[in-house]
Amino acid sequence: MKKTVKNLCVGLSLFAIAVASTACGSQKQSDSGEKKLKLVLDWTPNTNHTGLYVAMEKGYYKDAGIELEIVQPPEDGAEVLVASGKADFGISFQDTLAGALSKSEPLPIKAVAAITQHNTSGIMSRKGDGITTPKGLEGKKYATWDLPIEKAIIKNVVEKDGGDFSKVELVPSTVTDEVSALSTKQIDAVWVYYGWAGIAANVKNFEFDYFAFKDINPTFDYYTPVIITNDNIIKNDKDTVKKFLDATKKGYEFAAGNPKDAAEILLKYAPEIDKKLANASQEYLSACYIDKDVPWGYIDSERWKNFYRWLNENNLLESQIDEGAGLDNEFITK
């Protein structure tokens, strides 16, 4: 699945105007008395979102007194919409949040749950091209979003593997079809989320090599994706956050134990998804939602802090941020 490059600078310029008109948030009551909540995705519906649709289909939200509307994100992403109160919850990423939190006027948002327990992203390349480890990127065309954090991560893993980052050819590109871009040799390597793009390549019988960032440097086992909400809701309506997350947790727990049934539910709400891809991706990601000894949604504060510490040490943000910034893990504990 593609990680959207978000124009947070533009979004922030509109933030004050949006906040003025939505100070009370998007919450309303439905005709049946349920609290109406809105969640904005990070991209089009996919298997990262299955637990949400399961919770809708199974009535977990209804049982919690919630009527949930799921919408796709605007150009400037979920973060600004959630911060402004125009959406109550959203899907984001720990690295994306860092940029939003380091602005002169930080967005008032926090992650409250992790969708998967580990970072499933890494580098995909054509099989046999020699990019089985980061050093293999030397002399190859890497499709970059041209983002400071992204390029710093690539530089770190290449150098950690004994390579020379200056020898990597950076090709600015937002790849939407990894198999096509690689098979036509527009690029040699691309950052992907294995649970979607890697599985899609398998479904298309495209042979590829892959390495995961977390296997090269544990610091890069940061949380991606995460569920976010705004500070106002956390401060003034903890009960709603708790009820929403409890219902969502049930959805992901069902998906973790019943990947085939969960994929069918996802396809009901997003029939445009290829059925083979949905089933194969769900089989993979269902094993990623919950780690041993921790419940779904749990965020380890030390892992969170480790990544932000690395960002600070490498001066990758507009300003230094607190290592624990953007995290509230009071709602899902061990």
Give pLDDT tens digits for 4-42: 444 444 344 444 434 433 444 566 776 667 899 999 999
> What's the rounded mean pLDDT across residues 81-106?
97
pLDDT of residue 187: 98
pLDDT of residue 75: 87
Pick from 332, 297, 314, 330: which is nearest to 223 by CA? 297
pLDDT of residue 334: 83
Pick from 287, 210, 209, 201: which is nearest to 252 by CA? 287
Question: From CA 327, how far away is CA 94, in angstroms rounded?
Answer: 9
Distances (CA, A) of 147 to 78, 93, 154, 187, 244: 18, 14, 11, 18, 33
* Beta pairing, strands 66-71 & 35-40: parallel
Pair 212, 153: CB distance under 8 Å: no
Give the per-residue SS3 of 134-160.
Answer: HHHHCCCEEEECCCHHHHHHHHHHHHH
Question: From CA 233, how far away is CA 25, in angstroms rounded?
Answer: 8
pLDDT of residue 18: 46
Question: From CA 249, how far away is CA 245, in angstroms rounded?
Answer: 6
pLDDT of residue 33: 76
Residue ranges per structural domain of the chain: 8-117+223-313, 121-220
Query: DSSP code of 328?
Result: -
Equal CATH topology for 8-117+223-313 and 121-220: yes
Taking 90 as the threshold, does the pLDDT of residue 144 lie above it? yes
Question: From CA 321, how far away is CA 262, in angstroms rounded?
Answer: 38
Distances (CA, A) of 187 to 190, 191, 197, 205, 218: 8, 11, 15, 19, 27
Protein fold of 121-220: D-Maltodextrin-Binding Protein; domain 2 (3.40.190)
Domain 8-117+223-313 is classified in which CATH homologous superfamily?
Periplasmic binding protein-like II (3.40.190.10)
pTM of the model: 0.92
Q: 76 falls in which pLDDT band (50, 70, 90)?
A: confident
Q: Which three-class secondary structure state does DSSP give residue 195?
A: helix
Percentage above 90 pLDDT, the chain: 88
In angstroms, how far is CA 112 from the centroid of its own chain? 13
Q: Find the helix packing angle between 275-285 and 259-269, rounded to 10°.
A: 130
Question: From CA 188, how far away is CA 11, in angstroms rounded?
Answer: 33
The mean of the pLDDT values for the chain is 93
Per-residue model confidence as pLDDT tens digits over 211-264: 999 999 999 999 999 999 999 999 999 999 999 999 999 999 999 999 999 999
Question: From CA 173, how far away is CA 175, in angstroms rounded?
Answer: 6
Question: From CA 80, how far away is CA 107, in angstroms rounded?
Answer: 7
Burial class (CB in 10 A: 0-12, 13-18, 19+), 206: middle
Q: 112 falls in which pLDDT band (50, 70, 90)?
A: very high
Per-residue model confidence as pLDDT tens digits over 155-195: 999 999 999 999 999 999 999 999 999 999 999 999 999 99
pLDDT of residue 27: 66
pLDDT of residue 26: 62
Distances (CA, A) of 194 to 2, 270, 299, 323: 10, 20, 21, 27
